[in-house]
Amino acid sequence: MSTLFRLGLLALLIASMPVAPASAQVSQADYTQALDLFQAGQYREAETAFRRILPHSTDAAFTRSLLWNIARCLEERKVIREAIAAYEKFAGSAISAEEKERVRLKLEKMQSLILGGVAVSCGGPGATVALEHPPGSLGDPRPCPTQFTEIDAERVVIVAYFEGAEPVRQMVNLTAGATIDITLTPPAQPAADAGIWPWVTVGTGAALIGTGVAFYVSNQSNVDKLWNDRNNQGLRDAVDRDRNLAITGYVLGGTALIAGAAWLIHEATAPDISTAARITPMGLEVSF
């Protein structure tokens, strides 16, 4: 392989950086072998060869070229985190604007392969959120909505804090190079225990129906008496009164009985849903 071709290959690896060995201890044969290995796609062997040369370099520019070549070998091997560390080591010695821009672009590319983000919104005012990463290490809460970027992990936990409620935790599987959108909402409030009120409602309904029956019996008794004393206005008034009270007892009692029975069934089949009852001008109102 001609010297001109080798120099051209090295230029492909390290752009315009110096290419010639800069120490008497670095043989041209070792350097040429490292280039041949990279060209042949033997990146692990090429990396080893470049690392073997590195301690013997006495020229800063040549050292930077070796660092770049090592990072390129790691990139080609797709060991991304190691490649990032190698590019960052090169960045620490970069001098020219061209070198700094070149390594900046490389780092952006490498980081996009392993880093992800989470955009968090909250279903409640005044909420704050924090990122737990690594496990057991919780960051400072931020106002929600917010976005966590450049997270180096496959899974993270987002913790949301809502006033007067327990924190809400959600695990998120990150996607490299992407931002995951999630929405956190306050925890559902536990359903209130209805206690004895469904039974009280049923009992009240039964009592009202019983009262209606009693007034119906009284009404029928007064009707019988009225047949024998048709001009008795007091009996007429009693008949009308007892009839109206009987009807009222039936209506209110039936409503309360049905509502109480429905309440009991609801408590048995859907205990996690709150219920409530209140007296209205129209009777007993039960809401679920």
Contacts of 281 (CB under 8 A, 6+ apart): none
Of 125-129, 140-144, 192-196, 272-276, the range with the lowest mean pLDDT is 272-276
pLDDT at site 5: 37
Residues 69 and 26 in one domain: yes
For residue 190, tell me if it sits in a domain: no
Q: What is the CATH number of the domain that holds 61?
A: 1.25.40.10
- Residue pointed to by tokens 């780092």: 107
How would you classify the pairing of strands 128-132 and 142-143?
antiparallel
Q: Are 229 and 235 in contact (CB under 8 A)?
A: yes
Residues 108 and 20 in one domain: yes
pLDDT at site 239: 74
Residues 105 and 206 in one domain: no
For residue 192, tell me if it sits in a domain: no
- Final residue of a structural domain among 163, 184, 205: 184
Residues 238 and 206 in one domain: yes
Residues 210 and 277 in one domain: yes
d(CA 225, CA 66): 122
Residues 243 and 259 in one domain: yes
pLDDT band at 30; cut points 50, 70, 90: confident
Minimal CA–CA distance to 184: which of 149, 215, 157?
157
Q: What is the CATH number of the domain that holds 126?
A: 2.60.40
pLDDT at site 31: 84
d(CA 46, CA 30): 10
Cα angle for residues 198, 203, 204 (degrees, 5° grid) = 95
d(CA 119, CA 231): 86
Q: How confident is the prediction for the chain on average, in pLDDT?
A: 80
For residue 189, tell me if it sits in a domain: no
Nearest-Å Rg of the Cα atoms of the chain is 42
CA dihedral 77, 79, 80, 85 (to 10 degrees): -110
pLDDT at site 3: 41
Half-sphere exposure of 149 (CA within 13 A, CB side): 4
pLDDT tens string 259-280: 878 877 877 776 555 555 555 5
Residues 148 and 167 in one domain: yes
Would you tell me how many other CB atoms lie within 10 Å of the CB of residue 211? 17
pLDDT at site 282: 54
Contacts of 193 (CB under 8 A, 6+ apart): none
Angle of helix 28-39 versus helix 3-14 axis, rounded to 10: 60
Paired with 158 in beta bridges are 131, 170
For residue 226, tell me if it sits in a domain: yes
Of 88-97, 128-137, 144-153, 243-252, the range with the lowest mean pLDDT is 243-252
**What's this model's pTM, rounded to 2 decimal places?**
0.49
pLDDT tens string 148-161: 988 877 788 999 99
For residue 75, tell me if it sits in a domain: yes
Residues 58 and 71 in one domain: yes
Residues 107 and 161 in one domain: no
List the domain range (segments joined by +) for residue 248.
197-287
Residues 87 and 120 in one domain: no
For residue 247, tell me if it sits in a domain: yes
Q: Are 169 and 156 in contact (CB under 8 A)?
A: no
Number of domains in the chain: 3
pLDDT tens string 34-71: 999 999 999 999 999 999 999 988 889 889 989 999 99
Residues 65 and 157 in one domain: no
Residues 149 and 215 in one domain: no
For residue 233, tell me if it sits in a domain: yes
- Residue pointed to by tokens 């989470």: 118
